[in-house]
Amino acid sequence: MSATTKRTFSLPDEQSHYIDSLVASGTYATGSEVVRAGLRALQERDAAVETWLRDEVVKTYDEMASDPGRGRSVDDVRAGLRARHAARLRAPIGEPDGRPLTGGRNRSAGHRRPCC
């Protein structure tokens, strides 16, 4: 294990109780392990955002800057979103995009997917 530095932090009660519950459940041995896991997750998320910005956003920006005619107006985008939303409300569950349903809600017959 690498060298460690002792730090002291103040947390809201909700976060403190959450750390305590993770330790009490045996998910983590100590509060420090919980904090380290949280920081690792934050580092991974930040790295993923940086990669996305570098690999996707910059590329898309450069493509749009070189050919502004490719862009769509805000009104066109809104109209497309409204049409897609209306189609999803009318379609049986799992259509029109064919994506499988995910999430924790009961999706039995007759229930419609949320808009987003």
Contacts of 89 (CB under 8 A, 6+ apart): 112, 115
Does residue 115 contact residue 85 with C-beta atoms inside 8 Å?
Answer: yes
Rounded to whole angstroms, the Cα distance separating 76 from 80 reads 6
Whole-number mean pLDDT of the chain? 85
- Condensed to tens digits (0 to 9), the pLDDT of residues 24-61 reads 999 999 999 999 999 999 999 999 999 999 999 999 99
Helices (H), the chain: 13-24, 31-52, 58-66, 74-90
**The whole model's pTM is what?**
0.57
Confidence of residue 103 (pLDDT cuts 50, 70, 90): low
> Where do the structural domains in the chain lie, given as residue ranges?
13-90
